[in-house]
A and B are shown apart, each in its own frame.
Chain A
């Protein structure tokens, strides 16, 4: 049973617009959440993270929002750029030395 779900396999947005990537989780013990980005033929690279004590974390064009009551987090990219086209993985962990549990990923395409 998947504990981290990225239900939409793909998303297409126009350059300059906002991209919103969603992630849901089922394990209430998860307390740390991350987003990774992956280009073809490359390994995933860390993008942004958020601890469960926060509900928002911002880094440049990237903002992650966490709604603990809904067990939902989202990644906002504003403005979207063609170079953002990649697969985005949501991941979560429970505890300081816990392994990461990943979602299946969402393929984002940003149209010029």
Chain B
């Protein structure tokens, strides 16, 4: 399998649930990203990892907890979310974190919080 994959593609959860989103890249990249896209809003960067170290946390609430166990995998752990957290969550990877390094996106996880 090639490119950036994300699972699950769709997720419905209650506010008291704990769930995790998974992202995997098969491109040999060193950097991985989580973005959030809410309805009628721009993509918002949440987290950036470079060589498994978090290099950016974009003022994201602590109910979102990222994990990068190796350069190919990225997780987003979710707990006690709010309905306004319902959105499309996109993972991306790039060779490194230079702006000129093209970011390759996964298909996203559509999250609905009830």
Q: Are A97 and B98 interface neighbours, CB within 8 A? A: yes
Within the assembled complex, what's the spacing in Å between the Cα atoms of A95 and B98? 9
Given known contacts A43-B92, A44-B90, A99-B56, is B42 in contact with A4 (CB within 8 Å)?
yes
- Total chain A interface residues with beta-carbon distance under 8 A: 24
Complex CA–CA separation, A74 to B37 (angstroms): 23
A72-112 contacts to B (CB < 8 Å): 89, 93, 95-105
- Inter-chain contact B97/A97, CB cutoff 8 Å: yes
Answer yes or no: A41 CB below 8 A from chain B CBs.
yes
Measured CB to CB, the closest approach of chain A to B30, in angstroms, equals 13
- Of all chain A residues, the one with the shortest Cβ separation from B106 is A43
**B residues less than 8 Å from A98 (CB atoms):** 99
Report the minimal beta-carbon distance from A57 to chain B, rounded to whole angstroms: 13
B103 near A: Cβ within 8 Å? yes
A-B contact count, CB below 8 Å?
A: 52
Contact-residue size bin, chain B (C-beta under 8 Å from the other chain): 20 to 34
Contact of A46 among B4, B45, B58, B102 (CB under 8 A): B102
Q: Which residues of B contact A (CB under 8 A)?
A: 4, 40-45, 48, 56, 58, 90, 92, 97-100, 102-108
A-B contact pairs, 14 of them (CB 8 A): A32-B99, A41-B107, A43-B90, A43-B92, A43-B108, A44-B43, A44-B105, A46-B104, A93-B99, A99-B45, A99-B48, A99-B58, A100-B43, A102-B42
Beyond A4-B42, A97-B99, 19 additional contacts (C-beta under 8 Å) are A32-B99, A32-B100, A43-B92, A43-B105, A43-B107, A43-B108, A44-B43, A44-B90, A46-B104, A49-B100, A89-B42, A89-B43, A93-B99, A97-B98, A100-B103, A102-B42, A102-B44, A103-B42, A105-B42
